[in-house]
Amino acid sequence: MSSISGEDARTESEVVATPVSPGRKPSGWRQTSLRLAVGGAVTAGFLWLFLRQADLGETWREMRALPGWSIAAALGFVLANAAFVALRWRYLFAAARYSTTARGLFPIYCVGAAANNIIPARGGDLLRIGAARQHYKIPAFVTAGTLFAERLLDGVVLSVWILMGALMIGETGPLLLAGVGLSAGTTVGVVLAALMAARPDAAERFVWRATGWLPERWHMKIGRATANFVLGLGAFRQRRSLLRVAWTSVAIWLADFGMYVVVGKGFGIDLGVGAYFLLEGVGNLALGVPATAAGLGSFDYLTLVSAQQLDVAENLATPYVLTVHAMVVLPVTILGAILLRNAFPRLLGRSATP
């Protein structure tokens, strides 16, 4: 087998976008239409379930009465969350042997997150990949590897949050089982990522053999993409790198936890720490449903059901859920719009600088 370096991006652009031959009809629009149709159906279903239980008039009155200190504190926690995400991304790239800055990655993250809040199926991740390539010349599949590492690390923390929250409030039903199952699944994911990062040659050989039946052109492309993707998992290979991405992952979700708490306190909701851990874990896993944009419907309904199970008063549960959802979505979306030029300077004719 010929050796393929993870840093070799000579034909990376070909992996990302290959021209359609004249004799072949493009099918991208069909796939896009199918994703939009599925996303629309999922969103509509969850919204219908949510609105069946919501009194929007009463909800709006409660939201308008939310004290200003609660809103200001929640915004502070949201900004801290975004800053920690950019710092963790810098650590992930450093483990893949690419030099970046948290300051430079912050607008890229915000633009990608904003797009994810508008486009279903996490379309904003493609913007993050493109912007990282434009600013830092990082191959697309290296960035994809770091994004996969992000999702895996987030899953680890949120599954622990759910498990810990369930144990703290004495929950022995579905929430505890969900925490156990998610913790087990993310542990397996971390082990597999660590094995791939520690033995990149073995991972590359496996993919090389599995795709040997493909035409040589695609065989080589997949080999390069695999090598770059595994390079993006470099944080799982070194203890120091793993510790850095681990503490920033905890910091990210502690900042988010703070936002859940101060909004709850603003509404006068009296819940223990464990209950807030559960609400945050369930809510953010609902946000991860890829078919919906910004978790519309899925976040609202699943978090509302969890709040009701935790005995949050009916007149406060819906305004609390909608306020938290707004805090998760609106600030970063506005930041993304403001920082669009910083993330994509060529879009408006400005030269890119790391």
User: What's the CA gap between 316 and 269, in Å, rounded?
Assistant: 8
Q: What's the mean pLDDT in 297-308? A: 87
Task: Give phi and psi for 278, each to the nearest 5.
Answer: -65, -45
* pLDDT on residue 29: 64
Is the pLDDT at 160 greater than 80, yes or no? yes
Of all residues in the chain, what percent carry a pLDDT higher than 70? 84
Of all residues in the chain, what percent carry a pLDDT higher than 90? 54
User: What's the CA gap between 78 and 274, in Å, rounded?
Assistant: 20
User: What's the CA gap between 264 and 283, in Å, rounded?
Assistant: 14
Q: Please give the model's pTM, rounded to 2 decimal places.
A: 0.84
pLDDT in tens, 236-294: 998 999 999 999 999 999 999 999 999 999 999 999 999 999 999 988 887 766 666 77
Is the pLDDT at 4 greater than 70, yes or no? no
* pLDDT on residue 348: 56
* pLDDT on residue 9: 41
List the one residue out of 53, 56, 24, 2 whose CA is nearest residue 208: 2
Q: What is the DSSP letter of 19?
A: P
Burial 6-27 (b: 16+ CB within 10 A, else e): beebeebeebbeeeeeeeeeee
Q: What is the DSSP letter of 163?
A: H
The residue with tokens 């034909």 is: 11
Spans of all domains in the chain: 38-344
- Pair of tokens at residue 148: 């996969």
Which is it for the CA torsion 321, 326, 328, 329, positive or negative? positive
User: What's the CA gap between 26 and 41, in Å, rounded?
Assistant: 25
Is the pLDDT at 10 greater than 70, yes or no? no
Rg (CA), the chain: 22
More confident residue, 116 or 108: 108
Angle at 86 between CA 99 and CA 246, to 5 degrees: 90
User: What's the CA gap between 226 and 168, in Å, rounded?
Assistant: 42
